[in-house]
Amino acid sequence: MNWQDFIAVMGLPFAQRALLTLALLAFGSGIVGVFVSLRGLEFMTDGLVHAIFPGLVIGYILGGSTLLLGGALTAALVTVVLISLLKTKNITGSDTAIAITLSAAFSLGIVLVSKQQNYVSALENLLFGNVLTVTTEQLLTLTVAVALALLIIALTWRAQLYLAFDPQGFKASGYRANLTNLALGCAIALLVVAGTGALGNLLVIALVIVPTAAARQLSKKLLTLIPIAIIVTLIAGFAGLSASVWVSFALDAHLSAGAATVIALVLLYLAAIFYKQTTARLKRLRGGLQ
């Protein structure tokens, strides 16, 4: 497969939809992911990813791929509200609440999907997704989900920043942390739901966490964290999609575009760590020489 053939394939409608999907997810994860990182909510996000699995299964059973996002969104919002209530009422610790919700919901999803005739293929699609098969309807739903997530962040931007950097001052000022937490949880849920159809339930967590983690290795300024995280995701998405297309057409083999994207994200994160450590060592050497 030469470069002309590759460019021609990337210009096909399915590849264009995949690129647009990854671009939308890059902008969403770059913004929402920053607040996940600043608030230290990586574990909660991981729990939320697993908790929406039964919603994915129910949506798949009721309407196939067209109802995947609807079922996942319902499960995600129920989970966010449930965790918020458990934390507010001090029924149990937040980590315990998340762990209980994660294990119970994910197990329920496995039970439900195991009742289907095409159990293996259905489970594979739900867990790992396929960005190359995103339809126009799914892309529209994904766009709405990402837009709603960003709208929530925009409306609560000041409160989110205040709570992230000064939680004690936030409460002392009379702000309601529960509403701010719920708003961020809903934004995370919408982004997770949007990314699940493309990357699958198990891989979408990397989309929310890894780009910002890489960005924080390169910058400490909030205004630069977001664009760096977006650029990292765009690069990884294009690399993963390109690798999948190239392997499929040139080698007649299957390579998951979602998995390839996550691998690219991790490699970029490791490269960011290497760059930061190398830069720090060079500065120390220059300081010692002076």
- Which residues are within 8 A (CB) of 232 and not within 5 positions of it... i.e. 6 or more apart? 210, 211, 214, 215, 265, 268, 269, 272
Q: Which value, in Å, is the radius of gyration of the alpha carbons in the chain?
A: 20
Q: Nearest 5°: CA angle at 42, between 39 and 48?
A: 115
Length of the chain: 290
* C-alpha closest to that of 83 among 37, 110, 51: 51
CA distance 19 to 8: 14
Domain 3-276 class, CATH top level: mainly alpha
- pLDDT for res 65: 62
| Contact indicator for 257, 132 with CB cutoff of 8 Å | yes
CA distance 191 to 33: 9
- Which residues are within 8 A (CB) of 36 and not within 5 positions of it... i.e. 6 or more apart? 42, 45, 188, 208, 209, 212
The per-residue pLDDT string of the chain (290 residues; one tens digit each, 9 = 90 and over) reads 677 777 888 888 888 998 999 999 999 999 999 998 888 888 777 777 777 777 777 877 777 666 766 777 777 777 777 776 666 655 555 566 667 766 777 777 777 767 666 655 556 666 667 788 888 888 888 898 899 999 999 999 988 888 888 888 888 887 777 788 888 888 887 888 788 767 776 678 888 899 999 999 998 888 899 999 999 999 999 999 899 888 887 777 788 888 889 899 999 999 999 999 998 888 888 776 66
Name the token pair of 31: 């913004």
Q: Can you tell me which residue has the tokens 């490791």?
A: 270
CA distance 26 to 261: 11
* Alpha-carbon distances, residue 274 vs 34, 169, 240, 283 (angstroms): 21, 36, 21, 14
Show me where the domains of the chain are located. 3-276
- Which residues are within 8 A (CB) of 171 and not within 5 positions of it... i.e. 6 or more apart? 177
* Alpha-carbon distances, residue 152 vs 131, 163, 220, 269 (angstroms): 25, 15, 24, 28
Among left, alpha and beta (phi > 0; psi -120 to 50; other), residue 40 is left
